[in-house]
Amino acid sequence: IFFRAFVCPPETMFARKDYAPLDNNAWSCFQVLAMVAAVSVSVGATVGLVTSSASQTNLASSGLTTAVRPTAQTTVRMPIRGRPSGNAIHHSDQALPHFQDTKPEDIQSIAIPSHKRGPSISALLLVPITLAGVVATLWHAVRKPVATPVDPLELVSTTPKAPVGCVYGGHRIDYAMMAISGKKVAVLGGAGGIGQPLALLLKGCDMVSHLSVYDLANFTPGVAVDLSHINTPCTVSGHKGAEELEAALEGADVVVIPAGVARKPGMTRDDLFNTNASIIASLAGACAKVCPKAILVLIANPVNSLVPVAAEVMKKAGVHDPRKVIGVTSLDVTRANTWVGEMNGENPREQNVVVVGGHAGTTILPLLSQVPGSDRWSDEQIKALTNRIQFGGEEVVKAKDGAGSATLSMAYSGAEFVRQILRAINGEQGIVECCYTENNVTEASFFATPTTLGPNGAESVTSLPELSAFEQEGLDSMLPDLKAQIAKGVEFAKSL
């Protein structure tokens, strides 16, 4: 234990995957306890050996005799031959001959030969060893920690899966290893209604080492400065205007795009297409040039059409990887989890409703038949909840009375999805999220379905489970609309 405490770095103290690495405070306490234990054992052993040796050596400086006053129960024995060996005096089983006829009460004292000697060799050796151990222990306890190179995948594999680090429930990774395991995340549209709270949540995520905030607004650098005052190890840079776009993207591992105009009352996601499609095409083109291997996470609406736009732009640039162009549909899942939890009287955090299809109106299809306990719901309840999940955005737009759309809940959902992407990039296995990608699950070329995330983005997709009659009807009716919205995006990109 002492060897591992002072030679092995904290993050490798425990090899089992279900133990978290010790933080700095716990590690210091562990070193102090180990130091106290080592000193106590060493000093105790030294004192014991020295005391034992001294008690068996000559007590008189002259080395003559030690007076012994025997009693009636005393049997005096002398060595058979030779002088005593080591610390022990070897006795025979024969009493002294000249005492055989002598009564014990007549004996005043007996002279027993004593041999003048010092402490044992083992005791002498233990003293310098103990002193060296104390010095080494103190040095290790007070020395300045030095960062030890550790494989980021191994570091993440030793952390617990329970979210304990990010301010919104993310992973905690040792700050000393941030330069190795942290990733650069660029938020394009970071000064907007979704971008600012999204950037705030990502600033608190320990898996992000550099947060790049880009927008056209002149106050974008101020947003970055504001975020930089938050006491997390993530650094923040602000970039404004098209001339600084490439600098914002340089070295990015993940690019999140909430950029675009917001919805207004009576406006559908399709109404946003003409304006936002041009914005996405421009930003995707810059990504293809500066960070072609980055994972693109699109939040801007309409997702059903804009993800195909980004994919086509990447294809034209010759850097397209369908696994790395992803549309975020997490808000639909967030809403479904919230309202299912309310219906069942359960914690919304513990729900995991599967939502497939797209991210617009009736193309959003929650698979409520897969929810445990849904067999207790009536058909009317299922239809009402499905409709609310499909048009939850309208609920927010109306409630804000024209002042905006769903920004905070979208920022939360987007940040949660980015966190899952970062966990997958760092090598964590078994991360499955519903998202909108290019796949062959249905006849639509893009479709949202449970997807296994990995270091390269959307690694694999899950086929649809057995649907209820109501869900099958919804799937059949929405596919023509979804395919038309996809075609609209593809045609726009090809016309550029």
Helix (H, G, I), strand (E, B) or coil at 250: coil
**How far, in Å, CA of 112 to CA of 98, rounded?**
14
* HSE toward the beta carbon, residue 458, CA cutoff 13 A: 26
Q: What are the tokens at 259?
A: 């950029």
The H or E element that residue 339 is part of is: helix 330-344
Q: Are 430 and 352 in contact (CB under 8 A)?
A: no
The H or E element that residue 414 is part of is: helix 408-425
∠ at Cα 145 (143, 149), nearest 5°? Answer: 145
* DSSP per-residue string spanning 392-405: HHHHHHHHTTTS--
∠ at Cα 247 (243, 251), nearest 5°? Answer: 155
Closest CA relative to residue 354, chosen from 338, 375, 337, 377: 337
Catalytic residue among 171, 239, 320, 359: 359
Cα torsion at 208, 311, 414, 176 (round to 10°)? -10
**How far, in Å, CA of 358 to CA of 303, rounded?**
8
Q: Catalytic site residue 359?
A: yes
Positions marked catalytic:
359
